[in-house]
């Protein structure tokens, strides 16, 4: 019985993946490293703690890892965050989920201030049971910490009763480690095959497509289950 839906944010609810790639490219270049768009996009969904070691040696991380992360954070907040746009139909989807009696939480690898801005721009603050950011997890995706923290914010829901909605393979991998199933969205730029290979049980184009096909989605099972126990 589905009782809760946990949403990733970047690439899932807001169109930000390309902007994150660009911010990382500029930050890496400032530290003397050239990294391609394709290389960085493949790592979207991870936080800096998991992304930087892909491109930096242990010695480089010790030398300029903190500077790199700080530069990327400041650059994104000052230059790129104001350009992030919400995907259509997010509030409408959340309202549909809430009408079915399911709880909603956010689980993002973004910094707390970034997440706060996204919640406001999406107009969903009143529909959330919980919202966790990078500040609430020791390790970012593909580790399960952020989804486990989000679930802890929803009282009385077991992992098997929660569904994750995300746009990257790392969402699906992290969710599976936390004992949750994943609905994959193509809005973050990852191929359907990559999402399925990582464990996504359903694939939709974007939030609007999931809303349009809600009755055939995994989420709709929650409606009947909730009605049955009332």
Fold of 17-83: DNA polymerase; domain 1 (1.10.150)
Q: What would the mean pLDDT of 32-48 be, rounded to a whole number?
A: 95
Cis amide linkage into residue 142, ω under 30° from 0: yes
pLDDT, residue 111, reads: 83
Mean pLDDT of the chain: 93
Annotated domain spans of the chain: 4-15+85-229, 17-83
Confidence of residue 222 (pLDDT cuts 50, 70, 90): low
Contact 106, 119 (CB under 8 A): yes
pLDDT, residue 225, reads: 46
Fold of 4-15+85-229: Rossmann fold (3.40.50)
User: Does 223 or 80 have the greater pLDDT score?
Assistant: 80
Q: How many Cβ atoms from other residues are within 10 Å of residue 125's Cβ?
A: 10
Q: Is the pTM of the predicted complex or chain greater than 0.85?
A: yes
Q: What would the mean pLDDT of 52-61 be, rounded to a whole number?
A: 97
What stretches of 38-179 adopt beta strand conformation (E)?
85-86, 103-107, 130-132, 162-166
pLDDT, residue 133, reads: 87
Burial code (b: 16+ CB inside 10 Å, e: under 16) for 87-110 equals bebbbebbebbbebebbbbbbbbb
Q: Cβ-count burial of 206 within 10 angstroms (0-12 exposed, 13-18 middle, 19+ buried)?
A: buried
In sequence order, the 6+-apart residues with CB closer than 8 A to the CB of 9 are: 106, 107, 108, 110, 115, 118
Contact 142, 177 (CB under 8 A): yes
């Amino acid at each position: 019985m589905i009782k809760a839906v946990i949403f990733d944010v970047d690439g899932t609810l807001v169109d930000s993946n390309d902007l994150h790639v660009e911010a990382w490219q500029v930050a890496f270049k400032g530290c003397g490293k050239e990294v391609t768009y394709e290389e960085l996009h493949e790592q979207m969904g991870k936080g800096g703690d998991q992304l930087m070691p892909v491109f930096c040696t242990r010695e480089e991380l010790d030398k300029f890892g903190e500077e790199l992360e700080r530069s990327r954070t400041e650059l994104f907040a000052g230059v790129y965050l104001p350009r992030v746009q919400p995907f259509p139909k997010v509030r409408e989807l959340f309202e549909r989920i809430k009408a079915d009696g399911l709880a909603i939480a956010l689980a993002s690898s973004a910094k707390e201030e970034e997440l706060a801005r996204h919640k406001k721009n999406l107009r969903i603050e009143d529909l959330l049971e919980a919202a966790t950011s990078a500040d609430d997890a020791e390790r970012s995706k593909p580790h399960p910490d952020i989804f486990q923290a989000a679930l802890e914010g929803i009282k009385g829901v077991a992992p098997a009763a929660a569904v994750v909605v995300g746009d990257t393979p790392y969402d699906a991998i992290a969710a599976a480690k936390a004992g949750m199933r994943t609905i994959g969205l193509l809005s973050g730029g990852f191929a359907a095959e990559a999402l399925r290979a990582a464990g996504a049980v359903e694939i939709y184009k974007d939030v609007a497509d999931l809303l349009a096909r809600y009755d055939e989605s995994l989420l709709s099972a929650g409606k009947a289950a909730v009605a049955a126990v009332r």
